[in-house]
Every structure is written in structure tokens, then in C-alpha cells.
Amino acid sequence: MANPKIVNGSAGCWIHIEDEARQRVRSPSYHWNGNVRMQWHMEIEDGYDTGYKLLHQTAPERGDFQVYGKAAVTEEGDRFTIAYSLKYAWHDSLHPNWTQHKYEAAAAWAFKELFNLAAPPDKKVGEDYYLDIIWTAPCNVAVDKRTLRVSGTGWPFTK
């Protein structure tokens, strides 16, 4: 089975970081070194067989998808280099309906394999679960001074 893909996932994240990098080096109101904070909506396409569809998309009421951390800019010849120290956070609300047949197998697998439980603990049918997935991944971005073309290493630029 093919892996489900994140619609607007790493590519969407890359675009947001590219835009932030360009703004950071060309705007006099931006501090070259300082805090980074971005937020937008993310979705996952396909994946009921793998369990990814249980996530499906970030929850706006819980903060959606967030990127935050620090940026440090250095000027090197014809380019700026930005070293980002970033955290990424996927905030989700799962809305399970254990009475629907299509969720029974996925729920049973998830609770057995992920939590070593036979069934959801103290949860009522239809009660939401809140999930926050947070990871750290540094990346480096180079911005050409003349063209503002961006290249990067580290996640989300490389897999």
C-alpha cells in the first residue's frame, strides 16, 4: 500500500519557510535574529488502512499546524544564510464514532498497538480525543541577495 500523502504538508511547510526567510532578509522592520511563529491548516489524503485518516486534518480550534522557534541570519558574500531551530506541532481533534463499522477495526488496532489497551479508556461513544504531535527539526536556508531565490537543507526541504 502506498503511503498517504500530506496535502500541503512538507511542500506547504517549505513554502511558508521560504516566504518567512525572504521577508526576514529584505524587510527593514524584521529583526534578522529572532523568533519565528507561523500557523496554517494541514490535511492528510488517503490512509484509512494505515490509520492516518483518523488524523485527516489539523483542528483550527486547537491551533492547526504551527511552526515556532528561532532564526539566526548571517551574511555571506552574495547570500544570506538563516539557521532555523524550529519545532513543528500538529494539533488535532479526533471525532471517533466507535459504533460505525469502518472505525471498529482501526480503533481496535490503534488502542491495542499504540496504547496497549483493549478498548478506549473511559471514553463515551462520540467523545473527542485531542492529539498533539510535536517534533523538532532544524533547517538552514540560503537566500540569494539579488534574486531572493531560496534553497534549504533539513526538514521540510529534505526527506
* Tens of pLDDT, residues 107-145: 667 667 766 666 555 555 556 777 888 899 999 999 999
Asked if 58 and 91 count as a contact pair (C-beta separation under 8 A), the reply is yes
Angle at the Cα of 137 from the Cα atoms of 136 and 140, rounded to 5 degrees: 145
Residue 54 CA to residue 94 CA, distance in Å, equals 7
Residues of the chain with pLDDT below 70 are 1-12, 28-31, 44-56, 95-108, 110-111, 114-127, 159
Q: Which residues contact 87 (CB under 8 A, 6 or more apart)?
A: 67, 68, 69, 134, 135, 136
Q: Where are the domains of the chain?
A: 5-95+128-154
The CB-side HSE value for 90 (13 A sphere, CA atoms) comes to: 16
Can you give the pTM of this predicted structure? 0.69
